[in-house]
Amino acid sequence: MENARKKAGLTPPQILVIGFAVIILLGAALLSTPAASANGQPLPFLDALFTATSATCVTGLVVVDTGSRFTMFGQIVIITLIQIGGLGFMSMATLVAFALKKRISLKERLILQEAMNQGSMEGIVRLIRKVIMYSLTIELTAAVIFAIRWSFDLSPGKAIYFGIFHAISFFNNAGFDLFGSISGPFSSLTSYVGDPVVNIVSMGLIILGGLGFVVISDLLELRKGRKLSLHSKVVLSATGALIVVGALVIYIFEFTNPKTLGSLSWHGKIWAALFQSVTPRTAGANTLDLGGMRQASQFFIIILMFIGASPGSTGGGIKTTTFTTLVGAMIAMIRGKEDIVFFRQRLGRDRILKAITLTMFALSLVVFVAMVLSTTENHNFLMILYEVTSAFGTVGLTMGLTPDLTHVGKVLIMLMMFIGRLGPLTLAYALGPKAEKELYRYPEGKITIG
């Protein structure tokens, strides 16, 4: 296997792209069989491919309802794809290697470094061990709490099954749910809008999954007297600020809206505003009718979805660190400062250029696909932009457009989910020519800005 990769000359980004594509195709093949369909009729292959892409890219956008359209076999295929896609297929392969006591090669370490978005290979295998241990522990704990809570509403066996499924789905920020079989298709968690247990556990899973495994590891190491890294400080600060600001904005704009917060009690309003602020950070579950929100709230959620989660997490988007770097650059420019400084440490020029490149790349991609879909889909532009941003950020929230997508629309949204999960820059490195060091530099010139 190693020799074959060497002969093929594949780079780590190329291996990641091919690996995810193969997993998606295998998942689509399984989901298109009669055994996966609740009515015994095979799901059309394009719909099966869309579902497999959404699950592997931990998005949550669905063209058919997961709870009512798929059998238990189909649902197990989906949750397996979510687990593989959330942790990364290389992490899962490493888990198998650990079990078989195989050595992790240099090439495989390079791929793991790319998959986990790390700056170096140092300690990468140790990090993967922690990733697997943390993930399974968090998912198991949440599954137990969910099962206990839902045992009051469902049979014991179903409560346990629902607990396991939703713990994996929410921690991996996938947003797939099974409540369509109980509350009606595409209902998500709307029946539990004011339930504190479901809200707290779901939000906890989403936040932990979106922080990134490096940050979780840093937090656990605090008890050993170690200090938080700059990365963890920025991620935690940005995540907290976005959740609080998001909840306040949604609470203010939706307070009197009878279709959303208006009909809820005061504590129900708080839970709903908080949940809708957390879930655009690439989770995909919802407790309110998103289509019934005011346009100001819908557009604000688009911004949250575009920012997304944090690097090295199960989420997508341009990432909280990228957004924070851009805000830092703006503040530094306004104040006439030369450096961007966070917590008494300045950022290197390469970090700033990468943040600008990633944001412009992502913004251009979202705008272009939204423009194309506005000609193929018979819906208003805000709904289309919402769908495209949700796919890019691997969020899974929708205003109801996904089931009505044309074949062209489904293909474009699948591509957006794929790019969003891998990251635009990873895909660009995989498809672009090999970078070569420049042997000379041109003289510096000046242009007028602003």
What does the block give as tokens for 171?
């921690």
65 in the Ramachandran plot: left (φ > 0), alpha (ψ -120 to 50) or beta? beta
Regions of the chain with pLDDT less than 50: 1-8
At 179 the pLDDT is 93
**CA 275/CA 297 separation, integer angstroms:** 14
CA-to-CA dists, residue 326 to 87, 332, 338, angstroms = 28, 10, 14
At 199 the pLDDT is 95
Residue range 137-172, pLDDT digits in tens: 999 999 999 999 999 999 999 999 999 999 999 999
At 118 the pLDDT is 57
Q: What single letter denotes the amino acid at residue 242?
A: L
At 129 the pLDDT is 78
CA–chain centroid gap for 381, Å, is 23
**CA 450/CA 442 separation, integer angstroms:** 24
**CA 336/CA 251 separation, integer angstroms:** 36
CA-to-CA dists, residue 211 to 235, 287, 315, 408, 438, angstroms = 7, 22, 9, 34, 36
Which run of H or E residues covers position 345? strand 345-346
Residue 346 dihedral angles phi and psi, to the nearest 5°: -95, 150
At 430 the pLDDT is 55
**CA 60/CA 177 separation, integer angstroms:** 9
Residue 266 dihedral angles phi and psi, to the nearest 5°: -65, -40
**CA 247/CA 275 separation, integer angstroms:** 8
What does the block give as tokens for 440?
């000379």
At 436 the three-state DSSP class reads coil
At 10 the pLDDT is 72
Estimate the share of the chain in helix, then strand, then coil, as percent rounded to the nearest 5. Answer: 65, 0, 35
Helix locations, 72-179, DSSP H: 72-87, 89-99, 106-115, 124-150, 156-171
Q: Are 125 and 112 in contact (CB under 8 A)?
A: yes
